[in-house]
Amino acid sequence: MNTDNKETSRPSPRPGFVLDVDRNTPPIVFHHGENFHLEKLPAGRSRVVYPSEPLEGLPDPEGAIKDALLNPLGDSDPLPSLLKPGMKLTIAFDDISLPLPPMRKPDIRQRIIEAVLDMAAEAGVDDVHLIAALALHRRMTEDELRHAVGDRVYDSFAPKDCCTTLMRKTQKEWSYLVRLLTEKKSISVVEPQRATFSYM
């Protein structure tokens, strides 16, 4: 019998559940900055939601990223076909908005940014900026930025082109912003001028 396509049996993942806290419930582990902290919750008026087990990690992250860029979901064209010499390319990446321990190196942001930069270089795109999408969060430190994008990317772009906030309230930075008006809801949206006139 041919078993080449037979799925390997795996134990069922742990389902999620909700814990109603009572007087016998031990202290609960919470994220505390970049560490963890034990905290006793009030009995009778606290619930703890435990998620199910996470998905298994990708065996080849770089390959998966390249495949996603070459075969995007929906009706988007592959990234290389969108990259042209002389264009402005702006890459926005998220900040450390959640108080979680740092991701194991290399950070997923570094992996994705490096893959995009490699494709941009192959296409002859040399006008590239990076924007740290901080919104109203505090600025990231140099160590945090290096961890997020990697030493190669940080040293190539900082300090001139890397790590500009998407929204800041200093007069100097507001001078680089343009105000857009969405047609459907008439909401004023503030974006950096660089992002507005770039392919993102």
* 119: CATH: 3.40.50.11440
Model's pTM, two decimal places?
0.65
Question: Are 41 and 65 found together in one domain?
Answer: no
Question: Are 145 and 82 found together in one domain?
Answer: yes
At 198 the pLDDT is 61
At 42 the pLDDT is 94
Question: Are 37 and 110 found together in one domain?
Answer: no
Question: Are 44 and 138 found together in one domain?
Answer: no
Q: Does residue 100 have a pLDDT over 80?
A: no
- Containing 49, the helix (H) or strand (E) segment is strand 47-50
Q: Determine the structural domain holding residue 28 and report its residue range.
A: 17-50
Crossing angle between the packed helical segments 108-122 and 61-70, to the nearest 10 degrees: 50
At 135 the pLDDT is 73
Assess if residue 38 is contained within a domain.
yes
Q: What percent of the chain has pLDDT over 90?
A: 34
At 180 the pLDDT is 43
Q: Does residue 2 have a pLDDT over 50?
A: no
| CB atoms near residue 96 (< 10 Å) | 19
Q: Does residue 9 have a pLDDT over 60?
A: no
Question: Are 143 and 69 found together in one domain?
Answer: yes
Question: Are 41 and 70 found together in one domain?
Answer: no
Question: Are 65 and 113 found together in one domain?
Answer: yes
- Where residue 164 falls among pLDDT bands split at 50, 70, 90? very low
Question: Are 154 and 73 found together in one domain?
Answer: yes
Q: Which has the minimum average pLDDT: 12-16, 84-88, 143-147?
A: 12-16
Question: Are 40 and 69 found together in one domain?
Answer: no
At 170 the pLDDT is 39
Question: Are 77 and 138 found together in one domain?
Answer: yes
Contact 118, 83 (CB under 8 A): no
Total domains, the chain? 2
What is d(CA 173, CA 196) in angstroms, rounded to the nearest whole number? Answer: 15
